[in-house]
Structure 1
């Protein structure tokens, strides 16, 4: 079943009206017909199961058959603070992070980031990254599209992360998995969790000292040094497993 997203204003009591670029995608790419079923979500995470009723020139109208609240979302909200990587690795991180259930993605300019973006380039990148997040949300049947923020400097990112209940900082020089296990064991299914991932050059000593001063949990991802994009995916995979297991136990 194909997935689409709409604003609340497009949702009526009995039907949903889809507009914009999705109309062309439904009609000319997917070649869908009246009577076919689709899944539609709003940005609050509510899912609607619908049947296409009419295909207009600039709209698609679908009858609402059923609905449920956030059927595919994690109970916890994970905020990924990703240092700007080289090449197209940020696109890979965003795609995989969305598939793994991340709530928001915050690109961060850190001391040892190789990539330097001026204001114009950063704005163009943000639009591209948000489009990738939307595509990944559709593919993975998310109930909402994670927001990709504008690039933040490190100090601003730390301040924003402090709003979360749990703050995790995987660090290549941290040794031992005890702290990592303790951090995962301390999670709750409804927590807000920040994950701060360093760049290819690693965190600077000043940056690590800053997160320790703010009482963020510095953890290890094992004995091997991971690329920045691998570290993000590995950490989110660990969190998804822990949180999904918690939710499954609570449902029993």
Structure 2
């Protein structure tokens, strides 16, 4: 079943209005017909609105509500991925898969070893592209909300942003003790906020690790092998999802 996001104001009693780019997609790509069923979410709560197409108008799709499904699909904790900017288009893959795995927010981090350097204009364009990918992935994976891709932050800004989060981890190649990592993951509880810091290609510099640990962020190992930046964050998210999934 196809899934779409609308603003809460577009849900009016038993009538739901779909607008924007989804209108052309529904009419011209999916070629949906009157009477066909689709799923709508408002991006605020975990309700799923099952409805049927009632009218295919030029600027909106009018749907009639059939029933509301209130079973939650989100993880019981909010997980924040602080991702060092990778090369090429790797960030697109990271955002897409992180959303599928249940991330709450993705925060791009301009770490010292990041090859990619974005000025304000490029960062704005990239962020808009990443946010579009996040929305598409949220639709595909039937998420209740569209995770936000935040503005690019420096490492200092990212550490400050994560300051109030309860669990803060930074995979580091010199960290030892896989049992420690396992213990932390297995001890995760509902309603916690979890921050994961992933370095770019080449990892974080020692000074960044030092700054992070002095702020209370815990270095952990992910095993004996060195993972690529696009693999490390998704692996951590998969472990967390496995622990928190009900």
TM range, normalised to the smaller chain? over 0.9
Aligned to 2:5: 5
Unaligned runs of at least 5 residues, structure 1: 248-252
- The equivalences for 1:132-171 within 5 A come to 132-171=133-172
Structure 1 position 68, deviation (Å): 3.2
**Unmatched runs of 5 consecutive residues or more in structure 2:** none
TM-score (norm 1): 0.95
User: What CA distance in whole angstroms lies between the structure 2 residues aligned with 1:144 and 1:70?
Assistant: 14
Aligned equivalent of 2:117? 116
Q: CA RMSD in A?
A: 1.0
Please say if residues 70 and 143 of structure 1, whose CA atoms lie closer than 8 Å, have aligned partners that are also in contact: no
Post-superposition CA distance 1:66-125 (Å, at most 9, x none): 223463211111010000000110001000000000000000001111111111110000
The answer to whether 1:39 aligns with 2:49 is: no
Paired residues for 1:1-252 under 5 Å:
1-45=1-45, 46-69=47-70, 71-244=72-245, 247=246
Task: Write out the 4+ residue segments of structure 1 that deviate beyond 3 Å after TM superposition.
Answer: none
The number of equivalent residue pairs is 245
Give the stretch that moved more between structures: 161-170 or 78-87.
161-170
Distance 2:16 2:157 in 1: 39
Deviation at 1:176, TM superposition (A): 2.0
Tell me the TM-score normalized by structure 2.
0.97
